[in-house]
Amino acid sequence: MPPVVTSPRLGKKVGIMQKPKGAVRAKSGCYTCRIRRKKCDEKRINGHEDGPCETCYRLKLECLGFGAKRPDWLRENSRVSAIRDRIKAHLAAQGMIKGHAGSGARSNVQEEFLRLSDPRDDDMMYRTGGSSSSTEGSPAREHSVDDDGPYGGTHHRLSMTTSAMRERDGMYDQGYSYFPPHSDIHSRSHSPAAGSSVYDLEPADFSLIPYRTDMESPAIRSSFSKNNLYGDNPQLYIIDELPDEPFDLAKSVSHFYPSEQIPYELLNNSMREYVNNVVKIQYLLGDRDILPIMIWDAIKMHRDSHEAVNLLARAYYGRQNDNQYSVLQDINVISTISSLKGSLQLKAHFTADDAMTALHIVSLYLFDGGRGKWSEFLFFASRYVKTVLEKPEFYHNYPAALEAASAKDQFVVKTTIWFDVLASVTTQQPPVLLTYIRELFRPNRSWVGNPTTYSMLSPMGCENTVVWALAETAELSYWKRRHETQGDLSVRELVKRVQDIEMHLQPGPRPQRPGGDVDTWSRFVASEIFRTSTKLFLKSVESGDFPYVSEVQDCVLETYNAIMEFPAALMTVKSAVVRSTVFGIFICGSLTDNHDMRRVLYNHLLQNSGHEGVGNCTTVSSLLDTMWRERDAGPLNLPVRWREYLNHAQILLV
């Protein structure tokens, strides 16, 4: 008779070492279930490897992620007990614990998921930098970092670095998150609004940057790193020609908190003042009375707008204290941008505030020099423009749709169109919204009833006709290059198309000298720069990028004179005009071999870049200097390669 094998179950009953009551039952499973001392099913939502477990999702609890060992911030028994008590209270309120009836009138928080990384818990507010969990992460999670799908699907990618940071903190990719997008709290807690916040937060340990009590910036105390943040994914957040330094994960801050935990009603007068400062340099020639109110209302009611403006604040105030500060090299900023991208990507229907959020992120790239993946967010804004202009009640009458739109919708449409037109110069592709631009702005357009009143002079400082001409020139440049490649370019058709555009770029009447209204004159000066530089762009398409062609030389001189013409009464807003017309300065400087002109334009950019230190003036001047050095070192009978340089650098000339 074979020996009887004792089952593991019986052996466990008679064993000497029995598990004490209340101990963690398993070392696998997510941290949330282990804190609850309950079994975790370890199944991810919809099979996503980086998603929360189904147990936490069913119980409406934040899944704190997986790992062999607890992260540092969960190793204190008092903190674990506090989290366990919150979970019990939440489940009891939901009627999920036997013997505890659910509350009759549940609050909004009770109806939603319980966030366990709540920034209102003072003892959990600031976690120390460095490693927050064991490096013995789940193999499935490590594998998922390498195998994420490309951008454009339901799930948006983080870079390797950001994904690794979330893994170390027990979080999961925001693309699968059942919470609203997360962001860091540091920039907000140090913003001008934080002084009156009921939380009154101070960091317990902030090892990356020394704490300074005399610091005025709300952003300089962020977790800033000059290291490379982009890991092994070269397609995400590429900034060309930056030093490829190794990223030291151990020196990074690895904490992320729900952004909506700071109530919007706590935004106070100091926050309003800060919004005014940001808007003032974000849309330099816009309506200074309407725009701040519009953005202020959005950040009070719209979570993503609040997050995006908060990033702009970090860039703005960071540059006040350090003109070398790069907000796009802050790991928390990268995380928030990824979260906002995921949030926008998953929306079936866009609102004006969603589009404003996207435009804010485009502005963030501009604040940081104009380089980066701004095109992804410009695409989101373009989607909403199509929604506004394609309303069925207007039967494809785009001018009527824009006239009937709200002030916010008009602003979104005009701003997105302007960004789209100038982006086409960089990408060397036709504007995405070209069909709408032609219907809205083409000259000699007929209409029934009253003429249209919308104008691109505010907020862009460019006349409607010039916007149309610039868009058509960008498309013509693409058309010429395509037919040259195919070997079937018709010079006659090219010349005819150039003439059709050029006839609408003649100088118009000058306004009265500025009296009390400096804005009118400043917009005129800007519009003249755009008119002359668009004509220069057009001639370079017709004759090629050769500085010694007479038509090109004439247009260079005309553009140069428009750039340098500043009435004495306009000197107070000179910086705003210069930063709004970087496109004209760039193309004028690119297509001249006159060293005196180059020097003046170069200094003009740098000296009028503004005391705020934000914007793309420095980046553009550096690109010009690089082009000039290459140009001067080679034969002068070759075309200027300004298009290749601009496209490679992916600088948005707004």
pLDDT of residue 163: 37
Least confident of 194-198, 260-264, 448-452: 194-198
Tokens read off for 116: 């366990």
pLDDT score of 337 more than 80 = yes
> Each residue of 524-561: pLDDT tens digit?
889 999 999 999 999 999 999 999 999 999 999 999 99
List the alpha helices (DSSP H) in 487-517. Answer: 491-502
Q: In the listed set 124, 156, 184, which residue is the last one of a domain according to the structure?
A: 124
List the alpha helices (DSSP H) in 107-159. Answer: 108-111, 139-147
318 inside domain: no
Q: CA–CA separation, 456 vs 123, rounded Å? A: 51
158 inside domain: no
> Each residue of 451-510: pLDDT tens digit?
678 999 888 889 999 999 999 999 999 999 999 999 999 999 999 999 999 999 998 776
pLDDT of residue 513: 58
pLDDT score of 41 more than 50 = yes
pLDDT score of 75 more than 80 = no
Q: CA–CA separation, 8 vs 11, rounded Å? A: 5
203 inside domain: no
Q: SS3 for 57? A: helix
Q: CA–CA separation, 26 vs 39, rounded Å? A: 7
316 inside domain: no
Q: CA–CA separation, 46 vs 328, rounded Å? A: 32
Q: CA–CA separation, 278 vs 435, rounded Å? A: 32
Which distant-in-sequence residues (6+ apart) come within 8 Å of 423 by Cβ?
374, 375, 378, 431, 652
On whether the CB atoms of residues 316 and 326 are closer than 8 A, the answer is no
| Residue predicted with more confidence, 156 or 87 | 87
Q: CA–CA separation, 636 vs 86, rounded Å? A: 73
On whether the CB atoms of residues 170 and 134 are closer than 8 A, the answer is no
In angstroms, the Cα distances linking 568 to 201, 514, 515, 574, 619 are: 48, 10, 12, 10, 28
Q: Which helix (H) or strand (E) holds 530?
A: helix 518-543
238 inside domain: no
CB neighbourhood size of 3 (10 A): 5
Q: Is the peptide bond before 459 cis (omega within 30 degrees of 0)?
A: yes
200 inside domain: no
Closest C-alpha among 257, 99, 108 to residue 183: 257
Read off the DSSP letter of residue 101: P
Note the Cα 500 to chain centre separation in Å: 37
Query: How does the average pLDDT of the chain come out, rounded?
Result: 73
Read off the DSSP letter of residue 1: -
pLDDT of residue 174: 35
Band (pLDDT 50/70/90 cuts) for residue 592 is: very high
157 inside domain: no
Q: CA–CA separation, 500 vs 475, rounded Å? A: 13
pLDDT of residue 306: 87
pLDDT of residue 219: 35
Closest C-alpha among 507, 397, 416 to residue 463: 507
| Residue predicted with more confidence, 570 or 368 | 368
The count of residues in the chain is 654
Q: What is the 3-state secondary structure (H, E, C) of 535-557?
A: HHHHHHHHHCCCCCCHHHHHHHH
> Each residue of 236-248: pLDDT tens digit?
333 333 333 332 3
Tokens read off for 609: 């870049």
Q: Using N-to-C axis directions, what is the helix angle for 464-486 and 518-543, rounded to 10°?
A: 20
Q: In the listed set 89, 124, 159, which residue is the last one of a domain according to the structure?
A: 124
Q: CA–CA separation, 644 vs 641, rounded Å? A: 5
Burial state string for 157-175 with b = 16 or more CB within 10 A and e = fewer than 16: bbbbbbbbbbbbbbbbbbb
> Each residue of 621-640: pLDDT tens digit?
999 999 999 999 999 999 99
Mean pLDDT for 216-242 is 33
Number of independent structural domains in the chain: 2
Closest C-alpha among 330, 337, 372, 128 to residue 225: 330
Q: CA–CA separation, 66 vs 53, rounded Å? A: 9
What DSSP string describes 278-341? HHHHHSTTS-TTHHHHHHHHHHHH-HHHHHHHHHHHHHHHHHHH-TT--GGGBHHHHHHHHHHH
Sign for the CA dihedral angle at 505, 509, 510, 516 comes to negative
pTM: 0.61
> Each residue of 95-144: pLDDT tens digit?
777 655 544 444 333 445 677 764 334 333 323 333 333 333 333 333 33
| Residue predicted with more confidence, 135 or 401 | 401
**Amino acid at position 86, single letter:** R
Range of the domain at 629: 349-649
Rounded CA Rg of the chain: 29
202 inside domain: no
Closest C-alpha among 507, 565, 513 to residue 535: 507
Q: CA–CA separation, 286 vs 456, rounded Å? A: 10
| Residue predicted with more confidence, 479 or 170 | 479
Give bridge partners of residue 30 from the DSSP assignment: 66
What DSSP string describes 397-448? -HHHHHHHS-HHHHHHHHHHHHHHHHHHHHHTS--TTHHHHHHHH-TT---S
| Residue predicted with more confidence, 185 or 26 | 26
Mean pLDDT for 332-346 is 93
What DSSP string describes 436-470? HHHHHH-TT---SSSPP---THHHH---HHHHHHH
Read off the DSSP letter of residue 510: P
Band (pLDDT 50/70/90 cuts) for residue 53 is: confident
Band (pLDDT 50/70/90 cuts) for residue 271 is: low
The bridge status of strand 182-183 relative to strand 257-258 is antiparallel
Closest C-alpha among 385, 334, 331 to residue 359: 385
